[in-house]
Amino acid sequence: MFGFTQGCLPMPRWDDLNAFFEKSGAKIVFGLNALNGRVPLQGGAMGGNWDTTNAASFIRYTAGKGYKIYGWELGNELSGTGVGTKVGVAQYVKDAIALKTTVDTIYRGSPEKPLVLAPGGFFDARWYGEFIAKTKPDMLNVVTHHIYNLGAGVDRDTQLMDRILNPKTLDGMAGPFRDLQGLLKAAGTSAVAWVGESGGAYNSGHHLVTDAFVFSFWFLDQLGMSAKFDTKSYCRQSFIGGNYGLLNTTTFQPNPDYYR
């Protein structure tokens, strides 16, 4: 997917990162590759069971080192119509349960067990409804969804600013927040809702818009809406990187959104 299929995280690098995590006090949620072991299907979908071998080895190494991981998340933007490709909901349910079983086995007897999160995609009411119903009551701790409701970052800056300052555009996200919370309550699951990733404008945002003061209006609205609909965590894209980073990597000074 997107040229990173052969990417690799060496364990010495992972050790270094965990040393940084410990010093910073950050709570780490790690996203796992949910396409491992799958085969292409017609219509752009991927099928077959998720191969847990690599993920289980990585989680086992992490637990053995005593590294504190707040949660393990399965996949990235594969729900509904997906981004680039997709996985059917029945299959994703099986794979999420496989991750839960893996985490429970590896952390058995541990006083602190990481959360299990999924699917980390864009909200599709039918797909999410079935996913939540079939993972209840406790196969998942967190149901995650992503938000990029301002469109593409490559759009003209005036177009993006108009959307940021348009109450109708901002209020348009109330539906997914409300509907997801309704699905969770109706299912009787113990899982809670998180925004697992959100940067407003996809494709890395837009310089002098999504890293400027005007973007604060969008972010504040998002935080308020999340609170109103009982979203337990909001993970902002990104701390560094792209044009929506909270930190200026040249000066190391926070961008305006950092203070929200």
| Contact of 36 with 54, CB cutoff 8 Å | yes
- 253-256: list long-range contacts, CB under 8 Å, 24+ apart: 255/211, 255/212, 256/211, 256/212, 256/213, 256/215, 256/216
What burial class does residue 244 get, using C-beta atoms within 10 Å of its C-beta: 0-12 exposed, 13-18 middle, 19+ buried? buried
Annotated active-site residue 197? The verdict is yes
Residues 6+ apart with CB under 8 A from 167: none
Q: Which two tokens stand for residue 20?
A: 């940084």
Q: b or e along 31-59 (b: 16 or more beta carbons within 10 Å of the residue's beta carbon)?
A: bbbbbeebeeeeeebbeeebebeebbebb
Choosing from 22, 73, 77, 130, which is the catalytic residue?
Answer: 77
Q: Which one of the listed residues 22, 73, 112, 197 is annotated catalytic?
A: 197
DSSP 117-136: EEEEEE--HHHHHHHHHHHT
Task: Reply yes or no on whether 22 is catalytic.
Answer: no
Catalytic residues: 77, 197
